[in-house]
Amino acid sequence: GWTSLQPANFHQNVFYSLATIKGQNAVYLPCGDGMVGSIDARDVAAVAARCLSEAGHMGQIYRLTGPSPISFADMAREM
């Protein structure tokens, strides 16, 4: 049996840009004004735990995103 968890961009990945966010007020990524449904890695772990501990998830595909799309500029502002 299998269950596929397909997370969107991990919110923690924005920390790789923290130095340029703090020092230059900029994010250097090829994303323009695009938005992503960024998700916290801990939320993915919580979904995985439920899939492993509850019945009914075999053969399912779960596309995991955050609560709403957010731009990298907005993520930087929140940081």
Tell me how far apart the alpha carbons of residues 60 and 26 are, in angstroms, rounded to a whole number: 39
Residue 79 has pLDDT above 80, yes or no: no
* More confident site: 76 or 62: 62
Mean pLDDT across 51-63: 97
Supply the mean pLDDT for the chain.
89
Mean pLDDT across 33-43: 91
| Per-residue pLDDT at 59 | 97
Tell me how far apart the alpha carbons of residues 72 and 68 are, in angstroms, rounded to a whole number: 13
Tell me how far apart the alpha carbons of residues 66 and 8 are, in angstroms, rounded to a whole number: 8
**46's tokens:** 């919580």
Mean pLDDT across 23-50: 90
